[in-house]
Amino acid sequence: MRVGYPASFTPELLALLPAGIELVPIPSHPEEIYEIDLWIPPPAPAIGQRIWPHLRGVRTILSLMAGTDWLIALAPTGVTICNAQDAHNIPTAEWTVTAILSMLKYFPWYHQMQQSCDWRSRSQIPDVYARIHANPTPTFPPIQQEELHGKRVLLVGYGSIGKTIESLILPFGVELTRVARTARTQPVPVHAVSELDALLPQAEILILILPLTPQTHHLIGASQLSLLPQGALLVNAARGPVVHTNALVDALHSGRIRAAVDVTDPEPLHPEHALWKAPNVLITPHIAGITPRSAPRAVGLAARQIGRILRNEPLLHVVHTGS
């Protein structure tokens, strides 16, 4: 079996792959054709899309990431695609909770003060709070941050990453409502995505961690954003196109909501895009699942999958069969 892999793999990652295969390093800018049976694509879709026309004979693709929408769009009939389920649960869940806390604790504002070496503008934080929540009533002492405890959280996407997010956020004492493609009552209540609009008005925090499909494309648009309560926080750790970007920019400028996003549409954002400078938004460059431990977990999973092929066992985490 000829296995194509990113030429940038470290020796430590290569050592995780099983014996009995022929390893074919594939550069990010290929200039020749590569005949391989199995492809381990790079995590970056843009690089993978550039490589794909140089590949021949691929029957199986083992993604190193949870999201495979771009691979499904590339793959012809007969190619099996597996995702790296569970490999990125912990870092993505940690990013999600960190992003929520960063916004509720007003860290972006305090970081700006730190850069200016002057805390005097902390007196503006109560005004920021008042604008976000449309509540001009003075408080004593003046508000300097918010609490996660007691917040109503709507978790849209209840796969393995969603369940990991749940395990990290529940200890904060939140009121959690779960949403998935279909409703169920066991082992915990889960609402169907068809109920989303009815659930949004109670969501002080909306977490998106669902795959990008034709059904979830622009799932959150102007109508859905208008249903969120004043001051709600939208957190997108899923895929950029799950949210209608122009509608998000408008909602942020209206002062009704705030957002923390690791993914955008388009991605990357061009320098002039309006989302960069929209108010009350924290943006990171699609890094939620990437840590020093995530790559070994993902490559280790790919190694086990290759072992299953060599033993004629069925693959795990198949998301596309190409049939």
Long-range Cβ contact pairs of 73-79 (< 8 A, separation 24 or more): 74/48, 74/49, 75/320, 75/322, 76/322, 77/322, 77/323, 78/322, 78/323, 79/320, 79/322
Residues with catalytic function = 239, 267, 286
User: Quick one: how far is CA 105 from the chain centroid?
Assistant: 22
Q: Are 83 and 160 in contact (CB under 8 A)?
A: no
Q: Which residues pair with 25 in a beta bridge?
A: 5
pTM: 0.94
d(CA 68, CA 37): 19
Using alpha carbons, list the distances in angstroms from residue 258 to 109, 200, 252: 13, 15, 6
Can you give the pLDDT of all 323 residues of the chain as single tens digits? 999 999 999 999 999 999 999 999 999 999 999 999 999 999 999 999 999 999 999 999 999 999 899 999 998 878 999 999 999 999 999 999 999 999 999 999 999 999 999 999 999 999 999 999 999 998 899 999 999 999 999 999 999 999 999 999 999 999 999 999 999 999 999 999 999 999 999 999 999 999 999 999 999 999 999 999 999 999 999 999 999 999 999 999 999 999 999 999 999 999 999 999 999 999 999 999 999 999 999 999 999 999 999 999 999 999 988 66
Both structure tokens of 65 = 């990431």
CB atoms within 10 A of CB 221: 14
Question: In CATH, what class is 89-105+146-283?
Answer: alpha beta
Please report the pLDDT score of residue 322 as a whole number: 65
Positions of CATH 3.40.50.720 in the chain: 2-87+291-320, 89-105+146-283
Domain 2-87+291-320 has CATH 3.40.50.720: yes
Going by the DSSP 8-state scheme, the letter that residue 60 receives in this structure is E
283: helix, strand or coil: strand
Please report the pLDDT score of residue 75 as a whole number: 86
